[in-house]
Structure 1
Amino acid sequence: MARIDDLLDRMTLEEQVSLLSGEDFWSLPAIDRLGIGKLRVTDGPNGARGGGSLIGGVKSASFPVGIALGATWNVDLLEEVGAALAEEVKSKSAHVLLAPTVNIHRSVTNGRNFECYSEDPILTARLAVAYIEGLQGQGIGATIKHYAGNESEIERTTISSQIDERTLRELYLVPFEAAVKVARTWGVMSAYNKLNGVYASENPWLLTTVLRNEWGYDGVVMSDWFGSHSTAPTVNAGLDIEMPGPTRDRGDKLVAAVRDGAVSAQTVRERARNVLHLLERTGAIDDRRPFEEHADDRAEHRALIRRAAAEGMVLLRNEGGVLPLEPMPGRIAVIGPNARTAQIMGGGSAQLNAHYRVSPWQGLVDALGRERLVYAPGATNHRFEPLIEGTFSVAFFANTELAGEPVHHGTQTNAEAFWIGRIADGKVDPLNFSARLTGTYRPEETGLHRVGLFSAGLARLYIDGRLVADSWAGWTPGRTFFEEGNDEVIGEAMLEAGRSHKVVIEFATRPARTLAVAGLRAGIGLPLGDEAISEAVAAALDAETALVFVGRNGEWDTEGSDLASIDLPGRQNELVAAVAAANPRTVVVLQTGGPVEMPWLDKVAGVIEAWYPGQEAGNAIADVLLGTAEPGGRLPQSFPVQWGDNPTRSQDPEVYPGLNGKVRYEEGLFVGYRHYEKTGIAPLFPFGFGLSYSRFALSEPEVDASGFEADASVRVSVWLTNTGERAGSDVVQLYVGDDEASLERPAKELKAFAKVALEPGETRRIVFDLKDRDFAFYRPEARHWLVEAGTFTLHLGRSAADIAFSASVGRATTLMLPV
Structure 2
Amino acid sequence: MAGTQSTTPADQAREAAVEAALGKLDLDAKARLLAGQDMWTLPALPEVGLESLVMSDGPIGVRGVRWTADDPSIALPSPTALGATWDPELARRAGALLAQEARRKGVHVLLAPTVNLHRSPLGGRHFEAYSEDPYLTGLIGAGYVNGVQSGGVGTTVKHFVANDAETDRFTVNNVVSERALRELYLRPFELIVENARPWGIMTAYNQVNGVTMTEHHHLVNEIARGEWGFDGYNVSDWMAARSTKGAIEGGLDVAMPGPRTVYGEALAQAVRDGEVEEAKVDEAVRNVLRLAARVGILENAEPVVTELPDAIDGEALAREIARRAFVLVRNEVRDGNSALPLKQGTVALIGAAARDARVLGGGSATVFPPRIVSPLDGLTAALPEGTLTYAVGADPNTELAVADKGFTLRAVCRDTDGNVIGTGNAPGGQIQWMGNDLPEGVTHDTLHTIELTGTFTPRESGTHTFGIKGVGAFTLTVDGTTYYDDLQLPADTSDPFEAFFGSPVPHGEVELTAGEPVEVSLTYVFQLPEGIPFMVIAFALAHQEPRRDADELIAEAVEAARNADTAVVVVATTDRVESEGFDRGDLALPGRQDDLVRAVAAANPNTVVVVNSGSPVELPWRDDVAAVLLSWFPGQEGGAALADVLTGAHEPGGRLPTTWGSLDAAPVTRVIPADGELPYTEDVFIGYRAWAKEGRTPSYPFGHGLGYTDWTYESVQVEGTTVRVRLRNSGERTGREVVQVYLAPADAPGLDRPERLLAGFAGVEAAPGESAEGTVEIPRRAFETWTGGEGAEGSWSFVKGSYEIQIGRSITDRRLTATINV
Given the two structures, how large is their TM-score scaled by the length of structure 2?
Answer: 0.90
The structural deviation recorded for 1:631 is: 0.4
Distance (Å, rounded) in 1 between the aligned partners of 2:637 and 2:18? 44
Aligned partner of 2:711 among 696, 710, 721: 696
Deviations 1:752-792 (A, max 9, x none): 11111111112122222223211111013341111234332
Q: Distance in 2 between matches of 1:519 and 1:261?
A: 40
Is the aligned partner of 1:505 residue 2:516?
no
| Percentage of matched positions with identical amino acids | 39
How much does 1:510 deviate?
5.8
State the 1:118 CA deviation: 0.4
TM-aligned CA deviation for residue 493 of structure 1:
1.8
Q: State the partner residue of 2:817.
A: 806
State the 1:586 CA deviation.
0.8
**Which secondary structure state, in structure 2, belongs to the residue aligned with residue 130 of structure 1?**
helix
Partner residue, 2:58 = 44
Q: 1:656–1:494: structure 2 CA closer, same or farther, 3 Å change rule?
A: same
- Give, as a single letter, the amino acid of the residue that structure 2 aligns with 1:153: E
Following superposition, the deviation at residue 467 of structure 1 comes to: 5.6
Q: 2:506 matched to which residue of 1?
A: 490
Matched-pair contact (CA < 8 Å) for 1:734–1:797: yes
Counterpart in the other structure of 2:636: 615
3-state SS in 2 of match to 1:29 = coil
Q: Identify which of 392, 396, 399 aligns with 2:409.
A: 392
Aligned to 1:750: 758
1:773 corresponds, among 773, 776, 781, to 781
- The DSSP-based 3-state class of the residue aligned with 1:306 is helix
C-alpha spacing 1:466/1:287, structure 2 compared with 1 (3 Å): farther
**Aligned partner of residue 762 in structure 2, secondary structure:** strand
Match of 1:17 in 2: 31
Work out which of the residue numbers 75, 80, 93 in structure 2 matches 1:67: 80
One-letter identity of the residue aligned with 2:154:
G
- Tell me the distance in 1 between the aligned counterparts of 2:674 and 2:455: 44
Aligned residue among 546, 549, 554 for 1:526: 546
Match of 1:189 in 2: 202
Separation (CA, whole Å) in 2 of partners of 1:721 and 1:519: 56
- Across the two proteins, how many residue pairs are aligned to each other? 785
Greater mean alpha carbon deviation, residues 686-695 or residues 194-203: 194-203
Q: Distance in 2 between matches of 1:452 and 1:87?
A: 38
Question: CA offsets, 1:600-626, max 9 Å, x none?
Answer: 112111111011121111110000001
Secondary structure of the corresponding residue to residue 520 of structure 1: strand
> For residues 546 and 597 of structure 1, what CA distance do their matches in structure 2 show?
20
In structure 1, runs of 5+ residues without a counterpart are: 289-296, 650-654, 706-713, 812-819
Residue equivalent to 1:26: 40
Alignment of 1:712-751 (within 5 A): 714-741=721-748, 742-751=750-759
Listed one character per residue, the Cα deviations across residues 381-409 of structure 1 (whole Å, up to 9, x for unaligned) are: 225324334233434466xxx77656544
User: How do 1:482-631 residues align onto structure 2 when only pairs under 5 Å count?
Assistant: 482-484=497-499, 486-497=502-513, 500-508=517-525, 509=527, 511-513=529-531, 516=534, 517-521=536-540, 522-529=542-549, 530-631=551-652
CA distance in 2, matches of 1:28, 1:445: 47
**Relative to structure 1, is the Cα distance of residues 72 and 380 closer, same or farther in structure 2, using a 3 angstrom cutoff?**
same
Contact 1:479 1:486 in 2 (8 A): no
Q: Which residue does 1:205 correspond to in 2? A: 218
Residue 418 (structure 1) aligns with: 432
Pair 1:475–1:221, CA change in 2 (3 A): closer
Q: Secondary structure at the match of 1:607?
A: strand
Per the TM alignment, residue 463 of structure 1 is displaced from its structure 2 partner at its CA by: 3.8
Q: Give, in whole Å, the separation in 1 of the partners of 2:300 and 2:618.
A: 51
Q: How does 1:268-279 map to 2 (within 5 A)?
A: 268-279=281-292
Matched with 1:644 is: 664
Structure-2 change in CA distance of 1:666 and 1:49 (3 Å): same
Matches within 5 A, 1:83-102: 83-102=96-115
Letter in 2 for 1:504: S
Please, which of 388, 409, 415 is the counterpart of residue 373 of structure 1? 388
The corresponding residue for 1:814 is: none
Q: Which moved more, 1:170-179 or 1:408-417?
A: 408-417
> Does the aligned pair in 2 maintain the 1:468–1:492 contact within 8 Å?
yes
CA contact (8 A) 2:472 2:489 kept: no
In structure 2, the CA distance between the partners of 1:92 and 1:746, relative to structure 1 (3 Å rule), is same
Aligned-partner residue type, residue 509 of structure 2? A
Deviations 1:331-382 (A, max 9, x none): 1111111111232211111111212111111111111243211111111122
Normalized against structure 1, the TM-score is what? 0.91
- How far did 1:687 drift? 0.5
Paired letter, 1:495:
E
| Alignment partners' CA distance in 2, 1:22 and 1:347 | 25
CA deviations on 1:74-123 (whole Å, 9 max, x unpaired) are 12111111122211111112221111111101111222111111010000
Which deviates more, 627-636 or 303-312?
303-312
Equivalent in the alignment of 2:805: 794
> Compared with structure 1, are the counterparts of its residues 535 and 298 closer, same or farther at alpha carbon in structure 2 (3 Å cutoff)?
farther
1:115 counterpart residue number? 128
Give deviations 1:610-659, integer Å, cap 9, x for gaps.
1112111111000000111100000001001x21222333xxxxx42223
Deviation at 1:61, TM superposition (A): 1.2
Partner in structure 2 of residue 783 of structure 1: 794
Aligned pair in 2 of structure 1 residues 61, 431: CA closer, same or farther (>3 Å)? farther
CA offset digits 1:430-475 (Å, max 9, x no partner): 9996534334444455544433433144545344565646883554
Alpha-carbon distance between aligned partners in 2 of 1:286 and 1:130, rounded to the nearest angstrom: 30
CA deviations over 1:478-535 (Å, ceiling 9, x no partner) = 5998444654433452413255554433434464345755422311321121221111
* C-alpha contact 1:480 1:561 (8 A) present in aligned 2: no
Matching residue of 1:149: 162
Distance change (3 Å), C-alpha of 1:478 and 1:625: farther
> Contact (CA 8 Å) 2:239, 2:256: kept in 1 or not?
yes
Per-residue deviation, 1:699: 2.2
Give the Cα–Cα distance (whole angstroms) in 2 for the partners of residues 114 and 466 of structure 1. 41
- With over 3 angstroms needed to count, the CA separation of the structure-2 counterparts of 1:570 and 1:200, relative to structure 1, is same
Q: 1:688 and 1:720 mapped to 2: Cα distance?
A: 17
The 1:299–1:222 alpha-carbon spacing in structure 2 relative to 1, beyond 3 Å, is: closer
Match of 1:227 in 2: 240
